[in-house]
Amino acid sequence: MNLRRRTARTAIAVAAVAAALLTTSCSSAGSGGDEKITLRFAWWGSEQLDAIKAEQIASFEKAHPNITVTGEPSEYNGYYDKLATQVAGGNGPDVLQITYNYIAEYAGRNALLDLSTVEKQLDLSDYAEGSLDGGMYEGKNYGVPTGLGARGIIVNPAIFEAAGVPLPDDSTWTWDDYVDIAAKITAASPAGTFGSTQNNTEQGLNTIARQNGRNIYSEDGGVGKGIEQDAEFMFDLSKRLIETGGSPDASATAEQDGLALEQRLMGTGKVAMSFEPINFIDIYAQSSGQELKILNVPNDGGKPGLWPQPTVLYSASAKSAHPKESAMLIDWLLNSKEAAPLNKLTLGIPANPDVLAAIEPDLTPNEVVQKDFLDKILAEGGAPNVQTPVGGTETQTIIAKLGSDVMFGSTTPKEAAKAFVDQLKAALK
């Protein structure tokens, strides 16, 4: 997102995505009479997010008795495979949750609704400059951010304390420090508790690249310069974490990836550090019963690696038989006083500043931690992120496969990095 350096408080407000006042704006739009309409709404998330969505849908249906919303929750790992199959078959959901790196892929296939065509139901005219960048493709808006977020190192201080390892100073620690701390915690903890999870992810790679003044993608939609070097560094970190015992091995890591958030190591209080979206902190805190913190990523003296980004976006299908009602549902979820505050910070700092003002007095300590950390990232600045181009949705799949090969010892970090660049070039073509 093209966000300029601002004070933390001002930045959140200026980056806001709210077009309407905190009212039941859908009610005034109307749904076209008494025609019985069914909308399908697809998302991924946790048990907590599923419960919130159920309550939001119920309030929408109460306000619009002629509209029934059928929820289609999924685990993240299978979400996009299912969505791709549905879209290819012309049977995509009316409203869907999507991340900014998939916008170009689906908008480029004409699968997403141009939201300017439903501006009466979802008014975007007052949105701040730059706040909709994550949902833009070729000058048109295809997604509305639910809120602003970032990545960070979520940590469990209780595990540090039990292992006799002090919390690091996240303004000075390096990647070598990270590996060393993870190994010490695992060695001093009960079996099954680890210092760190693995992090062979697109977000992790781009964080390392940004610290070196680079980006995974070039402005013209190709592979960024120097990314092979950054990929080798990331894969080598993965290898070192396993060799030192700082993280679970390859098999255990693969099992973790298929679990709901509440069942993962951080959600069960079995890991000290994990690179995660910061809006996961409250889910992990509630499921583990632990007080958690967020630290900035290690840095070997480079530029800021983290950046503010839309947590997720809501989009509508271009094939929907009910585009106006789909837009009304999105508006209700993000702007209505009945539904929008229910998200609290689970989908990032609310994009609507009125919603943020409404929930701020009731934020939990862990939610305050999340908000304060984002304030710090906003104040830190950093270069704008390059939008994921068409074909870039393969990036995480490529990284995950090669990262697994490195963890299992079937390839080296250097070989994996070269293969990553070669495969990504082919995907982007």
Residue 126: its pLDDT value, please? 62
| DSSP strand pairing (37-44 vs 67-74) | parallel
CA distance 178 to 305: 15
Residue 130: its pLDDT value, please? 57
Residue 13: its pLDDT value, please? 36
CA distance 209 to 324: 41
Beta bridge partners of 275: 153
Q: What are phi and psi of 164, to 5 degrees?
A: 75, 25
pLDDT above 50 (res 19): no
73 pLDDT band, cuts 50/70/90, is very high
Smallest Cα–Cα separation from 282: which of 257, 297, 262, 311?
A: 262
Residue 411: its pLDDT value, please? 98
Residue environment code for 346-363, b if the CB has 16+ CB neighbours within 10 A, otherwise e: bbbbbbbbbbbeebeeeb
Residue 97: its pLDDT value, please? 97
pLDDT above 60 (res 384): yes
DSSP one-letter string for 202-271: HHHHHHHHHHTT--SB-TTSSBPTTHHHHHHHHHHHHHHHHHTTSS--HHHHHHHHTS-GGGSTTTTT-E
Rg (CA), the chain: 21
CB–CB of 274/197 below 8 Å?
Answer: yes
Residue 18: its pLDDT value, please? 32
Of 55-59, 230-234, 314-318, 393-397, where does mean pLDDT reach its minimum? 393-397
Of 111-125, 296-310, 375-389, where does mean pLDDT reach its minimum? 375-389
Residue 33: its pLDDT value, please? 60
pLDDT digits (tens, 9 = 90+) for 31-54: 546 789 999 999 998 888 999 999
Residue environment code for 75-90, b if the CB has 16+ CB neighbours within 10 A, otherwise e: ebeebbeebbebbeee
Ordered by where they begin, the domains of the chain are 8-148+310-363 (3.40.190.10), 151-306+391-428 (3.40.190.10)
Q: Is 22 helix (H, G, I), strand (E, B) or coil?
A: coil
Q: Which residue has the higher pLDDT, 279 or 195?
A: 195
- Mean pLDDT within 233-237: 98
15 pLDDT band, cuts 50/70/90, is very low
The percentage of residues in the chain with a pLDDT greater than 90, rounded to a whole number, is: 70
378 pLDDT band, cuts 50/70/90, is confident
pLDDT above 70 (res 296): yes
Residue identified by tokens 């706040």 is 131
CB–CB of 213/290 below 8 Å?
Answer: no
- Mean pLDDT within 389-417: 96
pLDDT above 60 (res 4): no
Question: Mean pLDDT over all residues of the chain?
Answer: 89
pLDDT digits (tens, 9 = 90+) for 245-273: 999 999 999 999 888 899 999 999 999 99
Residue 6: its pLDDT value, please? 33
pLDDT above 70 (res 106): yes
Of 109-113, 132-136, 152-156, 191-195, where does mean pLDDT reach its minimum? 132-136
pTM of the model: 0.79
pLDDT digits (tens, 9 = 90+) for 127-176: 655 567 889 888 899 999 888 889 999 999 999 999 999 999 999 999 99
Smallest Cα–Cα separation from 121: which of 344, 343, 271, 335?
A: 335
Give a three-class secondary structure readout of 149-183: ECEEEEECHHHHHHHCCCCCCCCCCCHHHHHHHHH
CA distance 316 to 313: 10
Q: What are phi and psi of 4, to 5 degrees?
A: -80, 165
